[in-house]
C-alpha cells in the first residue's frame, strides 16, 4: 500500500456535509495529541496533509482524504478536559452518526499514545465500533518513548484487551512500524 497520492477532499462539520460514499474508507480516531495527524502524514509521506486541513474552529469536523481508490476519514480528536458539554454532545453525535451510517467504511485505525493506551475515549470508540460491526487496527504510536520491553508489554496488553483487533507499534518521529501499519490498513480493506 502506498498512500503518497492522498489529497485533501473536504471537511465535514455536520453529518449532512459528509461526501457520498465512494472508495473504501478507513477512519482514523484518537484522543487529541495522541499523534494522529503525525501518523497520517507519515503514512502518506506528506508533511502537512492532516494538519493543513485543520483550519481553526473546525476541530470538530471530519476531514476526508482521497486518492481515487481509497479514502481516509480523519475523525475529530477528543480529550481536552475543558470542552463544554454541548460540544462533547455534538462531537459524539457526529462520530456515532458517521460510524452508524457509513456504508463505505471498511475499518477504524485507533491511534493511541503507546504510553497510555485504552483510555476512556478509546474504549468509547471500541464500543461504538463493536455496535456497528467494524474492524479495528490499534496503532500504538510514540513507541520511541518506550524501552523495547515496554513496547512488547504494551503490544501484548492491547492485543489481549481488544478481541479481534490487530495491533502494531509506530513512531512518526523515528519512522518505526510504517510498513506494518500500511499492511494492517490494507488488511482492513475488502478483497
Binding interface with ligand GDP (CB under 6 A): 30, 32-38, 77, 141-142, 144-145, 171-173
Rounded least distance, CB 31 to ligand GDP, Å = 7
Half-sphere exposure of 115 (CA within 13 A, CB side): 9
Cβ–Cβ under 8 Å, residues 13 and 179: no
Rounded least distance, CB 32 to ligand GDP, Å = 5
CA 40 to chain centre: 8
Rounded least distance, CB 174 to ligand GDP, Å = 7
Rounded least distance, CB 154 to ligand GDP, Å = 14
Nearer to ligand GDP, 22 or 182 (CB): 182
User: Where does 17-138 have alpha helices with state H?
Assistant: 36-43, 49-52, 85-101, 120-131
Nearer to ligand GDP, 102 or 142 (CB): 142
- Quote the cell numbers at residue 96: 456515532
Nearer to ligand GDP, 141 or 166 (CB): 141
Cβ–Cβ under 8 Å, residues 96 and 129: no
Distance CA 104, CA 44 (A): 20
Nearer to ligand GDP, 51 or 101 (CB): 51
Amino acid at each position: 500500500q502506498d498512500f503518497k497520492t492522498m489529497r485533501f477532499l473536504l471537511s465535514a462539520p455536520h453529518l449532512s456535509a459528509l461526501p457520498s460514499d465512494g472508495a473504501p474508507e478507513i477512519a482514523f480516531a484518537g484522543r487529541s495529541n495522541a499523534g494522529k495527524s503525525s501518523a497520517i502524514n507519515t503514512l502518506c509521506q506528506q508533511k502537512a496533509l492532516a494538519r493543513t486541513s485543520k483550519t481553526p474552529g473546525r476541530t470538530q469536523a471530519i476531514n476526508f482524504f482521497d486518492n481515487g481508490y481509497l479514502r481516509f476519514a480523519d475523525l475529530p480528536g477528543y480529550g481536552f478536559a475543558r470542552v463544554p458539554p454541548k460540544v462533547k454532545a455534538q462531537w459524539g453525535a457526529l462520530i456515532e452518526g458517521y460510524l452508524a451510517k457509513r456504508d463505505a467504511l471498511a475499518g477504524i485505525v485507533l491511534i493511541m499514545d503507546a504510553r497510555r493506551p485504552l483510555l476512556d475515549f478509546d474504549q468509547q470508540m471500541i464500543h461504538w465500533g463493536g455496535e456497528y460491526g467494524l474492524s479495528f487496527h490499534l496503532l500504538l504510536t510514540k513507541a520511541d518513548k518506550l524501552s523495547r520491553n515496554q513496547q512488547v508489554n504494551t503490544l501484548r496488553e492491547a492485543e489481549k484487551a481488544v478481541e479481534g483487533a490487530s495491533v502494531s507499534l509506530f513512531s512518526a518521529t523515528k519512522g518505526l512500524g510504517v510498513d506494518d501499519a500500511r499492511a494492517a490498513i490494507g488488511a482492513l480493506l475488502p478483497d
